Amino acid sequence: MAARPIKFYQVGSFAVGNRLLGPELRSVQADPNRSNAITKGHRACQGCGEALGARYALDAAMRATDGRLIAANATGCLEVFSTPYPESSWQMPWLHSLFGNAPAVATGIAAALKAKGRTDVRVVGQGGDGGTVDIGLACLSGMFERNDDVLYVCYDNEAYMNTGVQRSGSTPPAARTMTTQAVGDEPGNVFGQGKSLPLIAMAHEIPYVATATVADLRDVEAKVERAMQLRGARYLHILVTCPLGWSCQASDSVKVARLAKETGLFPVFEAEHGAVSAVSKIRRRRGVEEYLRLQGRYRHLFEPQRREDVLARIQAIADRNIARFRLCDPDGFSRQDFPANAGLAREGAPREGA
Amino acid sequence: MTPRDGRINPGRYRDVGPKQLEGSQAVARAVARCRPEVIPAYPISPQTHIVEALSAMVKAGEVGSCEFVNVESEYAAMSVAIGASATGARTYTATASQGLLYMAEALYNASGLGLPIVMTLANRAIGAPINIWNDHSDSMSQRDSGWIQLYVESNQEAADTHVLAFRLAEELSLPVMVCMDGFVLTHAYERVDVPSSEQVERFLPAYEPRQVLDPDEPVSIGAMVGPEAFMEVKYLAHVQQMQALDLIPALTEELAGVLGRAQGGLVREYESAGAETIVVALGSVLGTIEDAVDELRARGVSVGAVGIKAFRPFPLQELRAALAGAKRIVVLEKALALGIGGIVAQNVRIAIAGSGAHVYTAIAGLGGRPITKASLCRLLDDAAAERLQAMTFLDLDRGLVERELERTRAKRRSGPHAENMLRDIGVVAAGPV
């Protein structure tokens, strides 16, 4: 069933696993019999958003498939911290091949299952933003355009964290990384670069594209569940806080992710067959400064002197997202005149799931 | 038979018995009869006819339950193969040249994970300069990638060796590369008796994977291994590959029993017993070499030939035995290791260490340069007369090289070599202006 966002105003957020809910509405994590696809004992950093996102995404996928799931994992933090030899955190069939080929490996798994008539077993591919938007993009695009029966999940922490925080194609403007240092006239990552993989995925007109953050884990679960109801290529892009790379408090991991959404810097939406079909509204709009202030990777915007010019440019990005995705529009939207859908191909029937 | 338009006639492919066939078609049919379950494919000459034919047979439903996946690169082709093989599917693909290099990272991964993928390599030169014709620089570049490498001499051997390759790969849980000379074999029409489905069934049992991604028995594959065990894992991979030195002869004999003809093996000797000079080579050039040996022997020159069929693992003992007693060994190679010379020769030297024989390296046929019988006879005459230099380049146009070297000495900005030399050939060929 489609999950209903339930507001728990007493905690000021969309909280998880609340025991006030009926069992059928509770988080997968509230179930003592959940799969624990990625179990305790792994070596992720304190406050790691990727570990949190992967746990919720995979347990939801395991529930949706009744435990009939195989994962292909790209090289990266998730792979390294989950499988230090001779230990493995994976309580599911799991294959790590290379950095840039996880989508193609997932395709191969799906092809083998199809050849063997194993329609009961489903496939998840997963990686970080480097493995997805940069080095794995060709394999991912190929998997999308063939509409292979794979859910690919990108855990986006906006840089190459496993190698020590270097810029990726997903690093936001002005952010400091080890290769976009906070020095010079324009400190941090440059403006006007980077890419939105959800929009690139939509351009393939695949059955389902969605974004989410680790601040709303019920939303992650609902989107995984929705994705597993469909066949064909599906893409879920989860913003995952990296306290190490973002220089924020581990205890602020969820708060920072929530602010990414509530400022409009990270639009949370769903798209079907290339058109946006739903957006998560901003509940309490915040200025970008509140988000940036919590992260050392933006410290150079506030000291030694305040960079009003740069802050204004970042705010403009948030404002544009809010307008484009109607993130604050209380009246919802109609698909036809939804600004983000403008210019999308309209010809032909939407692609069916495989 | 293949119609003139190049498309295969699916209804006829089951036909048994010898047929006039293009090498690629013969290989495609042999592979189809091995019942692969997943075939990721990416086009690159001169391998393309093989996967074209397989795509038609899969689509016509003649390969059983098989997924043919049109991927976006060779890197993806090998990656899809990795995923499919790890899920317990018999997996096949084909590539050549730049394609092999583009999948290099995944090649090492497939062998490191111990996945029994079978791949045809239609041997082709590596650029720059870009060149689509045959030599062995592609497969030689990946000789240490952990794949078993088998080199075939004829299209009959190519067809039969693919059947053997699947069995070998699956028994050892290691990937096997069947190297066949691009164009020389892939595009050559000759009489080939493709192993029938019944014969293949007798020789090749259903694939029983050693490791498989299965929700009923979940395993993690591809974990990070640190210094505490990495050497042991790699040593084990070496030990596993070395087992092929026993298995290949055994399987070759078994397959010969099924097919009624012997192909492949580790090494093949031709008039080499007691010969003073022995040529060592790989692949289709062995046919021409054998003709040259016949001619020289008719003139009373003591020469013979030894073909290396399995280059990885390298059959040190078998080669040592085959070369025992030779005074001179001429290693004819279709690849050049820049900065040192021969690749096969280095391996041969290890095999014959201490025997006292002289090893000569002859680089030949790079980028499709024809290796003629006349040139081979000249080479072997020179070797027999001990006129040969330790390292030679068969039919090298030294004048062309010297003219370009002169240009680079005369002028700092002398321009791109290849284009200068092509222009030079045109001018020289046109005669005095």
Bigger pLDDT: A127 vs B1 = A127
Summarize pLDDT for A144-157 with one digit per residue, the tens.
999 999 999 999 99
Q: pLDDT for A64-113, tens place per residue?
A: 999 999 999 999 999 999 998 788 999 999 999 999 999 999 999 999 99
Q: What is the pTM of this model?
A: 0.93
Q: Mean per-residue pLDDT for A161-185?
A: 97
The pLDDT value recorded for residue B6 is 44
Q: Which residues of B touch A72 (CB under 8 A)?
A: 83
Residue B220: list chain A partners with CB under 8 A: 83, 88, 90, 94-96
pLDDT given at position B11? 42
Residue B28 to residue B286: CA distance in whole angstroms = 23
> Residue A30: its pLDDT value, please?
82
Scan residues 120-159 of B and list those with Cβ closer than 8 Å to A: none
CA distance A155 to B412: 52
pLDDT at residue number B5: 47
Please give the pLDDT value at position A350: 47
For residues B221 and B86, give the distance between their C-alpha atoms in angstroms, rounded to a whole number: 9
Of B170, B99, B81, B85, which Cα lies nearest the Cα of B139?
B99
| Number of CB atoms found within 10 A of residue A136's CB | 29
State the sign of the Cα–Cα–Cα–Cα dihedral B368, B27, B87, B241. negative
- What residue ranges of chain B have pLDDT lower than 70? 1-15, 428-433
Q: What is the pLDDT of residue A348?
A: 41
More confident residue, B129 or A5: B129
pLDDT at A351: 52
ipTM over 0.85: yes
**B346 contacts chain A (CB < 8 A):** no
- Supply the pLDDT for residue A237: 98
B89–A111: do the CB atoms touch at under 8 Å? yes
Q: Kindly report which listed range (A7-11, A74-78, A158-162) carries the lowest average pLDDT score.
A: A7-11
Which residues in chain B touch residue A69, judged by CB atoms under 8 angstroms apart? 215
Q: Is B419 on the interface with A (CB under 8 A)?
A: no
List the single best residue of A35, A97, A98 to mutate versus B (max B Cβ within 10 A): A97
Contact (CB<8Å) B223/A84: yes
Q: Cα-flanking dihedrals φ and ψ of residue A71, to 5°?
A: -115, 135
